Structures are given as structure tokens and as C-alpha cells.
Amino acid sequence: MKDYVNKHLSDLKNFCENENISVEAVFALPKCYSSDFMFIQTYDKKNATKGLTDNTPADIVLIIRKGETGPEFELTDKGKKLLREYNFHS
């Protein structure tokens, strides 16, 4: 999925511009992905001190999926706040 996102980078940049969010933040954040989708995530490092003893999922800020005609983007409420703030402060 990483290669797919890179191949459609202009779509991601357009989406970020339209949503007034930072594309740099999207790349700066951790992500998990399969061959068909990618979750861009965020978490508080202060609460991530338990190693493999805790599986609580990190928050998802942006979902990118392979669509029929190109990538599909879904910004979560958390993502709207965090990625726009990142844009504001950067």
C-alpha cells in the first residue's frame, strides 16, 4: 500500500490542501497498512510504556483505501483536529 500511496501522491496532496491539513504531518505519523488500505495513526508516547503487554489501538487520524478509480481518503474527527493543528503550528 505504501507504493500505491506514493504513486498517487498528488491525490493525497490535493486532498490535504482541500481539507487544510498538513501532508507533512501525514508522513510524519506512524502508520499500519495492508495491500488495500492504510491507517495513519497517533498516540501519546507517555502512555505507550507497556511493550507487548497492552494492545490498545492507537488513534486513527486518516484512512487511505484503494478505490476503483483511485485512492479514497477518510479523515477522522481526531485527524481533523490534529492534522489542522499541526498545519497551524508548523
Partner 1 sequence: MLITRKKTALKANPIENLAKSAEGGIIKINSPISNRESYKGRPTAIYTLDVELSKRQQRILDSLAEYDSQQIFKKDEVSMVDLSALTAKTGMEFAMFTRGSQRLVIRGGANHVNVDIKKAKNLANMGYKFSGHTHPGGDYNCLIASGNDYEILKIFGQTKSVTYNSKGHYLTYELGDR
The H or E element that residue 18 is part of is helix 9-19
Total residues at interface with partner 1 (CB under 8 A): 28
Per-residue contact flags (x/-) with partner 1 for residues 25 to 64, judged by CB under 8 A: --xxxxxxxx--x-x-x-xxx-xxxxxxxxxxxx-x----
In sequence order, the β-bridge partners of residue 75 are: 62
Kindly state whether residue 77 participates in binding partner 1, applying the rule CB under 8 A. no
Grid coordinates of 77? 474527527
CB 16 within 8 A of CB 84: no
Q: Which residues bind to partner 1, rule: CB under 8 A?
A: 2, 27-34, 37, 39, 41, 43-45, 47-58, 60
